Every structure is written in structure tokens, then in C-alpha cells.
Amino acid sequence: MKSTIKANTKTLFKHAFDIMKLLKSNSITPDEAKEHANLIKQSNNLLKYELDKAKAVEKYENISITNIEDLE
């Protein structure tokens, strides 16, 4: 399933604050909020990985890093 929403820090923060608003208004349960928090954490880890990978490619000329998307 492809999403048209770009994953970046701004959208992760917006989603986190939207979830907090829903939790405050009792529209979702604390357990649902925890599940969203875990997904946000995983997304942030992926963004950090991509940043670290880009830094490594810039720093080392002859480095070969396999794209995890290509491992199907």
C-alpha cells in the first residue's frame, strides 16, 4: 500500500500532536495513542537511518550501501 503523504519530521510532529488532541478529547484510548507513538518512533528511526546513510555516502567515496527497499 503506497501513501501519498511524505514522511518527514514535520508530518511526524503534526501526527503526534493530532493524536494528543484526540486523546485529550477522549476520541481514542490511551492504548491506541501508545500504538501511534510506537509507529511514530519507528518512522523516526527510519528517517534517522536515511540521514545516517546519506552522511556516510557523502563522507566515504567508495562506500556501497544496499537500499533496504531493494531487498525483495
Size (the chain), residues: 72
Q: Which of 13-17, 27-31, 66-70 has the highest mean pLDDT?
A: 27-31
Give the model's pLDDT for residue 62: 75
Mean pLDDT confidence for 11-17: 89
What does the longest C-alpha to C-alpha distance in the chain come to?
Answer: 53
Kind and range of the H or E element at 16?
helix 9-24
What's this model's pTM, rounded to 2 decimal places?
Answer: 0.67
Would you tell me the crossing angle of helices 30-59 and 9-24 to the nearest 10 degrees?
170
Q: Is the pLDDT of residue 71 over 60?
A: no
Q: pLDDT digits over 20-38, tens only?
A: 999 999 999 999 999 999 9
